[in-house]
Every structure is written in C-alpha cells, then in structure tokens.
Amino acid sequence: MMLRLRSVLSLLLVVITTFLVSCSGPSVKVPDTYTPDRIAQIQIYLTPVSEARQGMETLGEFVQANNWTNARTYIHGPFGFLRRDLTYLANTLLPNDQKAAKDLIDEIFAHLERLDAAAQDRNGTATTTEYNNALADFDAFLRLIPGNTEAS
C-alpha cells in the first residue's frame, strides 16, 4: 500500500513538474524578435523622443540665426530630459540594437556638449558643425527603432 502511494505521488510530481516547465517556458525565454507587445511598448517610449526630434528643428533655427542664448537655453531646458528619454527607448530594444542605440546616445550628447561650448564662445562654424553631427546621430538612432515611420 505504502509503495503504491509513493509511486502515485512520484508520478503526480512528474506531471506537476512537466506542467510547470511548460507554463514557465515562454516567459523566461529571452525575446529575440520584435513581438507586437514589444513594438507597442516601443511606441510609448518613442513619443517623447519624437517630440525631441521636432525640438532639434527649433534648436537648428537658433543655431542658424547665431542666437547663442536661445540655443544654450534650449539644450539645458527642453533637452534636459533628453538623455533619460533616449535611454528609456534604447532599453526597449533587442540587445544588439540596444548597444548601437546607447553608443549613438553618447555621440548625440558629446555633440550637444560641444555645441553648448561653441555657442558660449559665439563660434558659428563650430555650433553649425556640432548641430549637424548631433542631428545625423539622432536620425541614426531613430533608424534603429522598429515600426518608426518618422525616421528619415
């Protein structure tokens, strides 16, 4: 009787374990594609980044007009959360894209810092160069985002 109960219990354990493994399987698997869920999440984090991309046009107008004060105010004000917003969006990408995106974020901010310094020095050539480079890296970042129709 005892032996029989034990074999029933061990069989039950096998059934339960099999069930648990098959249930937990998909959720622990690392995603290697852009699933519809992931795309939906990306769209949410893309919103503030798309707004910032429009803000780049405003910054470009200040740069073109040699409006040093407004250019610097724009970098420190409206772009104050840009690194955070870009990083949130980068974190939703697949590992390979994430690495490339984070490199581009570093690039964008290196250019914006140099643009800020050049504007302080009232150096029109340098501000234009750094602005164009920041814009190119921003657009390269956007091209990494799947389902993004705004990337040029």
- Residue ranges of the alpha helices (H) in the chain? 2-28, 36-64, 68-76, 82-91, 95-120, 124-143
| Region binding Zn ion by CB under 5 A among candidate stretches 50-58, 73-81, 120-128, 130-138 | 130-138
Binding to Zn ion by residue 137, rule CB under 5 A? yes
CA 79 to the chain's CA centroid = 15
Cα dihedral 66, 49, 138, 118, rounded to 10, equals 30
Please choose, from the candidates 54, 35, 57, the residue with its C-alpha nearest in 3D space to the C-alpha of residue 147: 35
Interface pattern 89-128 for Zn ion (x via CB under 5 A):
------------------x---------------------
Element (H, E) at 144: none
Nearer to Zn ion, 41 or 133 (CB): 133
Q: Quick check: 130 binds Zn ion (CB under 5 A)?
A: no
Smallest distance, Å, CB 136 to Zn ion? 7
State the number of CA atoms in the 13 A half-sphere of 111 facing the CB.
18
Work out whether 132 is an interface residue with Zn ion (CB under 5 A): no
Q: Is 129 in the site for Zn ion (CB under 5 A)?
A: no
Chosen residue from 73, 98, 133, 148 binding Zn ion by CB under 5 A: 133
Nearer to Zn ion, 116 or 137 (CB): 137
Q: Which residues bind Zn ion (CB under 5 A)?
A: 107, 133, 137
